Amino acid sequence: MVKVFILICVIIISGCSKQETTSPDETTPSTIDTTLVIGLIPERNIFNQIERYEPITGYVAEKTGVNIKLKVLTRYGNIIDNFVSAGLDGAFFGSFTYTLAHAKLGVEVLARPQYIDGTSTYHGLIFVRRDSGIKTVKEMKGKIFAFVDKATTAGYLVPLFYFKEHGIDNYRTYFKETYFTGTHQDAIYDVLNKKADIGAAKNTVYRRLADVDKRITKELVILEEFLDVPENGLAVRKDLDVSIKNNLKEALLNMHNDPAGKSALRDFGAEKFIETTDNDYANVYKYTKEINLDLATYDYINE
Amino acid sequence: MKKKIIIGLSIFSLIFLLAGIYIITTIETATAKLDNLITLHQVEILREHLLINIKRVQSDLNLKSTRFARSIDTVILNVRNMEKMADKCFECHHSEDVLERLSELRNDIDKYKDALSRVFTIRANTGRLKAEEDSAFRTGENLITKVNNMISIASSKLEKKTQSALGNIADTKTVLYILLAIGPPLAAGIAFIFMRGFTRQVNVLLEATRSLKEGNLDYRIEGLKDEFEEVAASFNNMAASLKEQMYKMQRTEQMVVLGELAAGLAHEIKNPLTGIKLSMEVLSEKTFTSEEDREFILKIIDEIKRIDSLIKSLLKFARPPKPNLAVSDLNEILNDTVTFSLKHPSLSSKTSTSINVLKHFDKSLPELMADPMQLQQVFLNLLLNAIDTMQDGGTLFVKTSYDAGENTVQIEISDTGKGIDENAIDKIFQPFFTTKPKGTGLGLAITKRLIEQHGGAISAENNPGGGATFKISLPVKKEGKNL
Ligand SMILES: Nc1ncnc2c1ncn2[C@@H]1O[C@H](COP(=O)(O)OP(=O)(O)OP(=O)(O)O)[C@@H](O)[C@H]1O
Ligand SMILES: [Mg+2]
């Protein structure tokens, strides 16, 4: 009986390692005990984030033999604090948080998802209620503006660029009130539900919500669209073991070739992971330069 | 009786079977109900768990901005647990309205989640923050009220269900007790009724045999049923036949005594009678006897002859000679006797010529062992009686036949005469019964004796169209076999 059990184990293990021959690193990782803590930004309902990312990280963990623990963060900017304080090894960064983290901590981006509709980028939007009558920046004066987070491209960086472009020197005085909703979704809904007059958010979230809530297309109107920036991608701390780093990257980039990986991708809503480098964030850098923002010293804490 | 026992047993086992089925099904339903109750209670526990989870999340929310705030990881864990608990409810509930209520609950939980997520992620001025926190708190409180309501409704329902299930079980228990109480006495009762019916009939039979033993041969059993009725009938037959046999034995004994008496008497009379007869004959031949006296004397001689033949008959009846068996052809004996009887001296010539004789002899009649002389005597007696009753003429019908089934030979002698008087028909075979002025009444008695000595039987009956028929049945005895 014990022999049979061992035999079965051997077959299963050999079956697994056969699949792994696709990875460039021929040997099965020996760092079984390694646990990576991966941070998740609150791009959606924070209570759904773990569930959403679990298929991907579960697959990668199995592939690489590394334990992966997910940690949800309630603020975009938290991710940078936590990298040091909570000992994060990596995170799915938003485009702006990545550039911040890259500048402050030197994190290295590995890959980002390409969603089923083919998109691997997004861009910022500025929108108002159709019945608000707001068409230009002038009409925004004295209204309420809903940002997402100080550490988001679509939810803060591009609006700053927009304000500068339109000659608003200090948005804090130009608007009656500004605040940070925390999520793109809430920024959109706050405008829709008249909690705010103007909102800024990602186009991908906007489109996803518009698909399920007809009110969005009917009652909201987009005033401005910005340049494309990369979707939230996985970046790891710069001093992470090179082999682990490579394993993670290879596992992500090849997962669409593997049935198990494919189904995990489907659950996540992506087609595959594509290779991503610092160069892909050119547009973010462009915006920060335009508004003279120094990434290394930028205070991302929301007031 | 057999049938009754079978029916009784089947009814009894049927009752047992039904009771068994009832007990099993009630136990099954009771346990099923209990199972159901247990699951319902488990569901109740589930609901309470859900409530606890929601309350925990709500407290997370309340503590959020205090120094006792829990880490966001704990909050996320608690929210996810709350969700899991809610999802568990979907696993067992299936009825449509419950599903509807549950998905409503699920929606509320989602709303609560959204509100919570918002509270934990939003950065705004305190007014807005407070508003969001209040809204989340209210959503949570609403949820708690709803689940509380659900719990109270469900638990009141559960209480009712529990009561009714317990009531049912109690009912079942009473029924079982009743069955237990009724079953054995019922069984005993049925057994008692059966046994009583049985012993009562046996007692009647016992009583009858006792009374028979005491000599009451007229005792008859009445009012028994089923197989006992048949036994009673056999018993009654036996008693009747015992009585008849007794009677016959008595009669035979009487006859023997009478025969001895008659034989002694006849012997004593015979010699003096022979003397008288001889003297009378001598006297009649004497010349001195006048013609007138001679006629008297001849008449006296005639009467003496009659006395002589009577004595002979009496002797024959009282001490019948043993049959001298020989292979006999019955048809021939009968035919000869008919011819002889028609020429018998006792008949007037007028009578014999006016009688028409019809013979119907069975050619295939088997030969049988019998005493031909005795058979001739039998036939003669019957034929003479028949002819005697047809003084004014008529038809004499004689017939023989063979009954292969019984292996007997049947002889029938019928006439078209006056027939036998209905009152006399039982007595004609008794000795000395006669309706004729000069008859001895011994003819049929002797005939019966002889036939019975041959192992046969004789009977008489009146013809529907007038006259009488005598039937004899004789067994065909194989040669060499003694009677
Ligand atoms: N064939 C018959 N038809 C009508 N009556 C008959 C016949 N045979 C017998 N009997 C009746 O039965 C009686 C008895 O007959 P049984 O032969 O014994 O005596 P019997 O004829 O009277 O006298 P015996 O034979 O001595 O002359 C007769 O007296 C008669 O009444
Ligand atoms: Mg006679």
Tokens of B397: 């019908």
C-alpha R_g of chain A = 21
A·B CB contacts under 8 A: 64
C-alpha count within 13 angstroms, C-beta hemisphere, residue B348: 9
pLDDT > 70? residue B88? yes
B84 lies within 8 A of chain A by CB: no
| Cα distances (Å, whole numbers) of residue B123 to B68, B129, B133, B388 | 20, 7, 12, 156
Residue A181 near residue A45 (C-beta atoms within 8 A): no
pLDDT at A26: 40
Residue position matching structure tokens 């709803």:
B146
Within-domain flag for B268: yes
Q: What is the pLDDT of residues B31-75, one digit of tens each?
A: 888 888 888 888 888 888 888 999 998 898 888 888 888 888 888
pLDDT at B349: 67
* A47, A76, A78, A150, best to mutate vs chain B, most B CBs in 10 Å: A47
Within-domain flag for A20: no
Query: Do residue A242 and residue A152 come from a single domain?
Result: no
Tokens of B106: 């699920």
Query: Which of A188, A213, A229 is the last residue in one of the domains?
Result: A229
* A38, A46, A50, A81, best to mutate vs chain B, most B CBs in 10 Å: A46
Residue position matching structure tokens 């809430």:
A186
What length is written for chain B? 483
What is the pLDDT averaged over residues A68-93? 85
Q: Which of A76-80, A188-192, A203-207, B20-24 has the lowest mean pLDDT?
A: A76-80
Q: Considering only alpha carbons, which residue of chain B is nearest residue A45?
A: B117
Those residues whose C-beta lies under 8 Å from the C-beta of residue A134, and which sit 6 or more positions away, are A128, A140, A143, A197, A198, A223
CA of B323 to the centre of ligand 1 (A): 24
Within-domain flag for B210: no
Structural domain boundaries, residue A46: 35-119+231-290
Q: What is the pLDDT of residues B181-220, one digit of tens each?
A: 887 888 888 888 888 878 888 888 898 899 888 888 888 8
Q: What is the pLDDT of residues A269-278, one digit of tens each?
A: 899 999 999 9
Within-domain flag for B198: no
* B71, B122, B129, B133, best to mutate vs chain A, most A CBs in 10 Å: B122
- What one-letter code names the amino acid at B389? T
Distance, CA of B181 to CA of B198 (rounded, Å): 27
Residue A60 near residue A255 (C-beta atoms within 8 A): yes
Give A70 or B4, the one with higher predicted confidence.
A70
pLDDT > 50? residue A30? no
What is the pLDDT averaged over residues B125-136? 88
- Phi, psi (5° rounding) for residue B330? -60, -45
- With vertex at residue A66, the alpha carbon angle to CA A65 and CA A69, rounded to the nearest 5 degrees, is 140
Distance, CA of B141 to CA of B393 (rounded, Å): 137
B122 lies within 8 A of chain A by CB: yes
Q: Work out the pLDDT band at B481, boundaries 50, 70, 90.
A: very low
Query: Which of A176, A200, A229 is the last residue in one of the domains?
Result: A229
The residues placing their C-beta within 5 Å of ligand 2, an ion, are B 385, 443
What is the pLDDT averaged over residues B87-97? 76
pLDDT at A9: 40
Residues with CB under 6 A from ligand 1: B 381, 385-386, 389, 415, 417-420, 428, 433-436, 439-445, 468
Per DSSP, A108 falls in state E
Residue A112 near residue A231 (C-beta atoms within 8 A): yes
Query: Do residue A203 and residue A149 come from a single domain?
Result: yes
Within-domain flag for A12: no
Query: Which of B175, B191, B207 is the last residue in one of the domains?
Result: B191
- What one-letter code names the amino acid at B483? L
A165-186 b/e (C-beta count within 10 Å ≥ 16 → b):
eeebeebeebbebbbbbbbbbb
Q: Work out the pLDDT band at B468, boundaries 50, 70, 90.
A: very high
Tokens of B78: 């608690």
Distance, CA of A89 to CA of A78 (rounded, Å): 14
Percent with pLDDT over 70 in chain A: 88
Residue position matching structure tokens 């021939």:
B332
Coil, strand or helix at A88? coil
Query: Which of B316, B342, B357 is the last residue in one of the domains?
Result: B316
Query: Do residue B303 and residue B355 come from a single domain?
Result: no
pLDDT at B350: 67
Q: Say what the ipTM of the complex is.
A: 0.77
Query: Are B117 and A46 in contact (CB < 8 Å)?
Result: yes
pLDDT > 50? residue A16? no
pLDDT > 70? residue B294? yes
Element containing residue B82 per DSSP (H, E): helix B72-92
Query: Which residue has a Cα nearest atom 25 of ligand 1?
Result: B443
Query: Do residue A208 and residue A280 come from a single domain?
Result: no
Q: Which of A259-268, B189-198, B236-245, B354-363 has the lowest mean pLDDT?
A: B189-198
Tokens of B30: 């009771």
Model confidence pTM above 0.90 = no
pLDDT at A14: 43
| Cα distances (Å, whole numbers) of residue B199 to B194, B202, B206, B219 | 9, 5, 10, 20
Query: Are A182 and B121 in contact (CB < 8 Å)?
Result: yes
Within-domain flag for A206: yes
Partner residue opposite A47 with nearest CB, options B116, B123, B124? B116
Tokens of B23: 């007990």
Q: What is the CATH number of the domain that holds A83?
A: 3.40.190.10
Set of chain B residues whose Cβ sits within 8 Å of the Cβ of A42 = 117, 120-121
pLDDT > 50? residue A91? yes
Query: Do residue A241 and residue A111 come from a single domain?
Result: yes
- Phi, psi (5° rounding) for residue A147? -85, 175
What is the pLDDT averaged over residues A201-221? 93
Residue A111 C-alpha, separation from nearest chain B C-alpha, in angstroms: 26
Q: Work out the pLDDT band at A302, boundaries 50, 70, 90.
A: low
pLDDT at A13: 42
The number of folded domains in chain B is 3
pLDDT > 70? residue B142? yes
Tokens of B250: 């008595």
* Most confident among A32-41, B90-99, B232-241, B314-323 (mean pLDDT): B232-241
pLDDT at A5: 42
Those residues whose C-beta lies under 8 Å from the C-beta of residue A192, and which sit 6 or more positions away, are A129, A215, A216, A219, A220
Distance, CA of A222 to CA of A200 (rounded, Å): 10
Task: For residue A120, give the nearest of A5, A280, A254 by alpha carbon.
Answer: A280
Per DSSP, B439 falls in state -
Percent with pLDDT over 70 in chain B: 97
Those residues whose C-beta lies under 8 Å from the C-beta of residue B318, and which sit 6 or more positions away, are B255, B258, B259, B260, B262, B263
What is the pLDDT averaged over residues B253-267? 76
Query: Do residue A219 and residue A133 come from a single domain?
Result: yes
pLDDT > 90? residue A282? yes
Per the prediction, chain B carries an average pLDDT of 86
Distance, CA of B440 to CA of A294 (rounded, Å): 173
Q: Work out the pLDDT band at B357, boundaries 50, 70, 90.
A: very high
Query: Do residue B270 and residue B158 come from a single domain?
Result: no
Residue ranges of the alpha helices (H) in B286-358? 291-318, 330-342, 349-353
Q: What is the CATH number of the domain that holds B136?
A: 1.20.120.1730
CA of B441 to the centre of ligand 1 (A): 7
Element containing residue A212 per DSSP (H, E): helix A203-212
- With vertex at residue A37, the alpha carbon angle to CA A32 and CA A38, rounded to the nearest 5 degrees, is 120
Q: Work out the pLDDT band at A303, boundaries 50, 70, 90.
A: low
pLDDT > 60? residue A2? no
Tokens of B49: 């768990």
Per the prediction, chain A carries an average pLDDT of 86
Within-domain flag for B130: yes
Structural domain boundaries, residue B22: 2-191
CA of B441 to the centre of ligand 2 (A): 7
The number of folded domains in chain A is 2
Query: Which of B316, B339, B374 is the last residue in one of the domains?
Result: B316
Those residues whose C-beta lies under 8 Å from the C-beta of residue B245, and which sit 6 or more positions away, are none
pLDDT at B124: 81
pLDDT at B342: 86
B157-170 b/e (C-beta count within 10 Å ≥ 16 → b):
ebeebbeebeeebe
